[in-house]
Amino acid sequence: MDVLGPFWVGLILASIFAATMSTADSQVLACTAAITDDLFPEWSTNHKKTKITTMVMAFVATCLSLGAYFTGNNSVFSLVVLAVYGLGGMFIPLIIVRMSGFKPSTQHSMVMMTAALVAVITWRLLGLNVHIFESVPGMGAAFIAHFIMVLKDKDPWLGKLPSQEKLVHWVLEFYS
């Protein structure tokens, strides 16, 4: 403020906030598109359901932001690290399950990702992240959710596993 003056400082701050809001808005719209196009394609033609999904995503983003603020995470870097650990905890188990040849349903995948996200956030809130980083319990929770979903599935789960040839090919490809 001493160097530029109040007008220029205000202009710079306004541009920073505009860029932040533009990014947040784009993320909410991208989440809405992913939900309505990928998870529930029948919703993409229904304007009311798409609008409700957008509002729910905005509400979830607001709750996550307020939760991060009130837990004392004042560092942007800390929030970015938590987001990366959350993504790792959610998607790595799902990728491993898919690469092994198992084809989980949408509900199965959502349960795995939700369990991982809850574990990552709980691990951070309990302060256990100083001992083990958050992705580890997140991945554990996702795999536990996967095995519970497989065991309670009415279809024979052995039929969903890949053949021995595919498994050997996958292992050889993975280690080469």
pLDDT at 92: 92
Pair (5, 52) in one structural domain: yes
pLDDT in tens, 86-119: 888 998 999 999 888 788 888 888 899 999 999 9
Instruction: Count how many domains the chain has.
Output: 2
Taking all residues of the chain, what is their mean pLDDT, rounded to a whole number? 81
* Claim to verify: residue 45 and residue 79 sit in the same structural domain: no
Written as six digits, the tokens of 34 are 């992913």
46 and 29 within one domain: yes
Of the residues 47, 70, 93, the one at which a domain ends? 70
> Do 102 and 151 fall into the same domain?
yes
Both 84 and 132 in one domain: the answer is yes
Tell me the residue range of the domain where 116 lies: 75-176
Alpha helices in the chain (DSSP H): 6-34, 47-70, 76-99, 106-125, 135-152, 164-175
88 and 24 fall within a common domain: no
Query: 97 and 170: one domain?
Result: yes
Q: Which of 28, 52, 70 is the last residue of a domain?
A: 70
pLDDT tens for each residue of 12-33: 888 877 877 777 777 777 777 7
Residues 93, 21 within the same domain: no
Residue at which a domain ends, from 70, 89, 109: 70
**Amino acid residing at 5:** G
In this structure, the answer to whether residues 88 and 165 fall within a common structural domain is yes
More confident residue, 157 or 114: 114
pLDDT for position 3: 78
Confirm if 43 and 50 have CB atoms less than 8 A apart: yes
Do 84 and 170 lie in a common domain? Answer: yes
160 or 167, which is more confident: 167
**Mean pLDDT over residues 134-159, rounded?**
85
Q: pLDDT band at 140, cuts 50/70/90?
A: very high
94 plus 49 within the same structural domain: no
Measured CA to CA, the distance from residue 69 to residue 66 in angstroms comes to: 5
- Give the pLDDT band of residue 157 (cuts 50, 70, 90): low
Over range 52-77, report the average pLDDT: 76
Which residue from 47, 64, 56, 68 is spatially nearest to 28, judged by alpha carbons?
56
Are residue 22 and residue 93 in the same domain, yes or no? no
pLDDT higher than 60, residue 44: yes
Is residue 162 scored above 70 in pLDDT?
no
User: Using alpha carbons only, what angle is made at residue 92 by residues 89 and 93, rounded to the nearest 5 degrees?
Assistant: 85
